[in-house]
A = this chain, B = another copy of it.
Amino acid sequence: MADKIYRVNMNDLSYKIEDVPEEWMGLGGRGLTSTIVSAEVDPECHPLGPNNKMVFAPGLLSGTPAANSGRNSLGAKSPLTGGIKESNVGGTSAQIFAKLGVKALIIEGIPKDDSTFYHLHVTREKVEIVQVPELVGKNNFEVLDAMLAKYSKKVAVMTIGRPGEMKMPVANVSVKDPEGKFRSHGRGGLGGVMGSKKIKCITVDAESYKETTIANPEKFKAANRIFAKSLLDNPVSGQALPAFGTNVLINILNESGGLPSRNFRSGNSENAEDISGETMADIIKSRNGKTTHGCQAGCVIQCSQVYNDKEGNYLTSGFEYETIWALGAHAGIKDLDMIAKLDSVMDDLGIDAIEVGITLGVAVDAGILKYGDGEKAYKIVSEDIANGTAIGRIIGGGAGTLGKLYGLVRVPVVKNQGIPAYEPRAVKGQGITYATTPMGADHTAGYAVATNILQVGGYIDPLKKDGQIELSRNLQIASAFIDSTGMCIFVAFAILDDPGSLPAMIDMINARFGTSLTGDDVTEMGKKILKMEREFNRKAGLTSAHDRMPEFMKYEPLPPHNVVWDFTNEEIDSVWNF
């Protein structure tokens, strides 16, 4: 059976299962969500109004045995940035969507009766839409328990917590992972869009799915072998990430002088050792946790982990560098257990740990909490955000809005989305990505850290402007393609270092669909996606004036290298010369 488009209309609680239009056939993941959002959503609409749509789409390789192909894309107009948003996630949803034959799930409209919330259950034949008053006001783990009690353990679950119901701009859409924990469509406030549509959770049937058809299984298998080996042979994806998780980056960035600390006042943090990946690995081992762990079936990198508390009980997983940086170096909380507690409660509430972490660091400048005060931060998150108090709404609005309310000038956002974990002044290629990606400051949109800091794919001095525009442009184009495959962004290390890696990935796509894409074709795909997203943003009112770093970075030198953000507007805008 061919893949289908599943379309739910919340205005009248109806659904349709449609054939895939010709022009969407070769698309998946980000390429498909951005195409559908561009085609069907008025760029001037209110992101929380009836004319915004949510589009879920698994990647082109999701549902196959391809290594690391289990990421699902979610697209919509973002309430945080006001522009187009694609946020992708590990967990189990991509593979189940793909195996069920759901090319995309499009959700439109808002129920006339908005007094309660709904649960959507997607099976091959239909979409059930039922009221779930009993789940209103519940957070993620309780919703998950209810769904696991109702369906098989394999069911895919996407849910929002109370902040999503309250339509907070930091609310994410949380997705069940293979262990029954959560991964997140984290950035851009898409949980608020789901809340606006009065959808509490979406489940996808994992019982009735078929296996994904592969046109040329032998060719696929051979290519996958090459590809997986390429991931494992790479020193970053094969060694550093499995050993220490993404948090291996704390020491690396700190040594480079590019670890933003005390709200972007220094590139070094006095807390680096306390919160580093090495320290974390020691703690995990001493408490019988797991240093390696996958967020999705088929992952060969295993950068996740299981972090236990002092008593050896599960505390959190998917404990990422960007979260630890935000709370640890930016907001100054040096107790890794407290950061893990915060990470855990944010998983339960369904809020973007990056945006909330950045906001808490900026809130120090607003006098809302003291630098390093983990207890206060925990109270703000677990009580104020959870209950939607005034201060909870302020922190739940993200860093940009907090800055406006408190008259702050030093607010690290681009397109109103918080800048994570890599100092634009000291990792200049990454700064160009932050400035220019249509997504708002997003570290995965063109991860120049690879070449600026990790020396993957060569080396470009992070402190100098030379070569950064081209680097960011190429990475953004490649990322737009990778985000369309279902692959996680960490396959980029192999692609940058090993000339056989990208051809193997393209071979898998061709073997899956019986196509004959070339390297040039996928580059064109990446370019087309970026230009389409930028065009949506232009119509939504985001111009090159929004492709800018916060002004303070232009006149405030960053220690230890005393560097400023010194690109001219013309240089920045030249990223788009392709």
Using a CB–CB distance below 8 Å, which chain A residues touch chain B? 43-46, 48-51, 79, 166-169, 192, 195-196, 389-391, 393-394, 396-397, 401, 404-409, 538-543, 545-546, 548, 550-552, 555, 569
5 contacts between A and B (CB under 8 A): A43-B545, A51-B551, A389-B390, A397-B401, A540-B545
Let me know if A545 and B407 touch, CB within 8 A. Answer: no
- When C-beta atoms are compared, the residue in chain B nearest to A402 turns out to be B393
- When C-beta atoms are compared, the residue in chain B nearest to A548 turns out to be B44
Contact pick for A46, options B79, B538, B545, B551, CB 8 Å: B551
A401 to B404, CA, bound (A): 8
- When C-beta atoms are compared, the residue in chain B nearest to A368 turns out to be B390
Let me know if B393 and A550 touch, CB within 8 A. Answer: no
With a cutoff of 8 Å between Cβ atoms, the chain B residues found around residue A167 in the complex are 406-407
A45 to B51, CA, bound (A): 33
With a cutoff of 8 Å between Cβ atoms, the chain B residues found around residue A540 in the complex are 545
A62 to B25, CA, bound (A): 68
Given contacts A46-B552, A550-B46, contact A407 B79 (CB under 8 A): yes
With a cutoff of 8 Å between Cβ atoms, the chain B residues found around residue A391 in the complex are 390
Q: Which of A166, A192, A396, A409 has the most CB of B within 10 A?
A: A409
Q: Which of A43, A44, A50, A407 has the most CB of B within 10 A?
A: A407
Q: Considering the complex of A and B, which 8 residue pairs feature the smallest CB-CB distances, nearest first?
A: A167-B407, A541-B545, A390-B390, A390-B391, A397-B405, A393-B405, A46-B551, A49-B409
Let me know if A44 and B196 touch, CB within 8 A. Answer: no
Let me know if A79 and B404 touch, CB within 8 A. Answer: yes
Let me know if B551 and A407 touch, CB within 8 A. Answer: no
With a cutoff of 8 Å between Cβ atoms, the chain B residues found around residue A542 in the complex are 541
Let me know if A545 and B539 touch, CB within 8 A. Answer: yes
A227 to B492, CA, bound (A): 74
Given contacts A46-B551, A551-B49, contact A394 B404 (CB under 8 A): no
A196 to B394, CA, bound (A): 21
With a cutoff of 8 Å between Cβ atoms, the chain B residues found around residue A393 in the complex are 394, 405-406
Let me know if A552 and B49 touch, CB within 8 A. Answer: yes
Contact pick for A169, options B43, B404, B546, CB 8 Å: B404
Question: Nearest chain B CB to A170's CB is how many angstroms away?
Answer: 11
- When C-beta atoms are compared, the residue in chain B nearest to A163 turns out to be B407
With a cutoff of 8 Å between Cβ atoms, the chain B residues found around residue A539 in the complex are 545
With a cutoff of 8 Å between Cβ atoms, the chain B residues found around residue A45 in the complex are 551
Contact pick for A407, options B195, B394, B405, CB 8 Å: B195
- When C-beta atoms are compared, the residue in chain B nearest to A544 turns out to be B541
A393 to B541, CA, bound (A): 27
With a cutoff of 8 Å between Cβ atoms, the chain B residues found around residue A541 in the complex are 541-543, 545-546
With a cutoff of 8 Å between Cβ atoms, the chain B residues found around residue A166 in the complex are 406-407
- When C-beta atoms are compared, the residue in chain B nearest to A398 turns out to be B404
A79 to B403, CA, bound (A): 11
A405 to B408, CA, bound (A): 17
Contact pick for A48, options B44, B196, B409, CB 8 Å: B409
A550 to B48, CA, bound (A): 12
- When C-beta atoms are compared, the residue in chain B nearest to A555 turns out to be B50
- When C-beta atoms are compared, the residue in chain B nearest to A415 turns out to be B541
Let me know if A44 and B545 touch, CB within 8 A. Answer: yes
Contact pick for A390, options B195, B394, B408, B552, CB 8 Å: B394
Known: A168-B407, A401-B404. 16 other contacts (CB 8 A): A45-B551, A48-B408, A49-B409, A49-B551, A51-B551, A79-B407, A167-B406, A167-B407, A168-B405, A192-B407, A394-B394, A397-B404, A397-B405, A401-B401, A539-B545, A541-B542
Question: Nearest chain B CB to A82's CB is how many angstroms away?
Answer: 9
With a cutoff of 8 Å between Cβ atoms, the chain B residues found around residue A48 in the complex are 407-409
With a cutoff of 8 Å between Cβ atoms, the chain B residues found around residue A543 in the complex are 538, 541, 543
